[in-house]
Structures are given as structure tokens and as C-alpha cells.
């Protein structure tokens, strides 16, 4: 993969996004796409995630975050494009 195809997105998702399996579903989808990074609940009720990998796969995850899993009501998604940091290993769920 060429360097310009490897990207990183830092995402904050707002709305009714905790208690609806947002983290678990994000984890499963990102892992299936082969992305590196993590997802966690924030104390303020948001969900935060970092996706790093192939541009099209990262964009697919960012797009998915606009809706989330069944039961989620997403009101806002903030996305910051960052320089890839070489996240490695399996996509993970962080706890606070």
C-alpha cells in the first residue's frame, strides 16, 4: 500500500451512543476491515475512536459513525484527519 493511502481519523460521536453497543459494533467492523486503532466511551457521553489504515476503509468507518448501530441516535460526528502514527496491532476497546 502506498503511503498516501494510509490515513488516520480521530472521531468523536455525540448523541445517544452509549449503552447501544456502539463500541462493540465499531470494534467488530474496524477489525473486519483490518484497521488499527481503538474506541472508547467518554465520561461526557460521547464515543471517541481512532481509525488508522487504508483510506477507503477508514472512510467507510467514518461514514458508518454517522449512523452507528441499531438503537443509536447520532446527533453529531466530529472528525479530525491526523497524520498516521503507525498504530499497530488489533483494533481495541479502551475503558476510560
Average pLDDT over residues 40-64: 97
Hey, which residues are catalytic here? 23, 41
pLDDT band at 60; cut points 50, 70, 90: very high
pLDDT band at 3; cut points 50, 70, 90: low
Closest by CA to 12, choosing from 57, 52, 50, is: 50
Query: Which CATH number applies to 19-85: 2.40.30.10, 3.30.70.100, 3.30.460.10, 2.40.128.280?
Result: 3.30.70.100
pLDDT digits (tens, 9 = 90+) for 67-91: 999 999 999 999 999 999 988 788 9
Contacts of 74 (CB under 8 A, 6+ apart): 13, 14, 15, 17, 65, 66, 67, 68
Contact 61, 51 (CB under 8 A): yes
What is the percent of the chain where pLDDT is above 70?
95
Main-chain dihedrals φ then ψ at residue 25, nearest 5 degrees: -70, -40
Strands (DSSP E) found in the chain: 6-16, 36-41, 47-54, 73-82, 92-93
Average pLDDT over residues 8-30: 97
Amino acid at each position: 500500500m502506498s503511503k498516501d493511502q494510509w490515513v488516520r481519523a480521530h472521531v468523536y460521536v455525540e448523541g445517544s451512543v452509549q449503552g447501544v453497543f456502539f463500541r462493540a459494533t465499531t470494534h467488530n467492523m474496524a477489525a473486519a476491515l483490518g484497521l488499527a486503532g481503538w474506541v472508547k466511551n467518554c465520561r461526557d457521553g460521547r464515543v471517541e475512536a481512532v481509525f488508522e489504515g487504508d483510506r477507503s476503509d477508514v472512510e467507510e468507518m467514518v461514514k458508518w459513525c454517522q449512523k452507528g448501530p441499531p438503537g443509536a441516535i447520532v446527533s453529531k460526528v466530529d472528525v479530525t484527519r491526523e497524520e498516521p502514527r503507525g498504530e499497530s496491532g488489533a483494533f481495541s476497546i479502551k475503558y476510560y
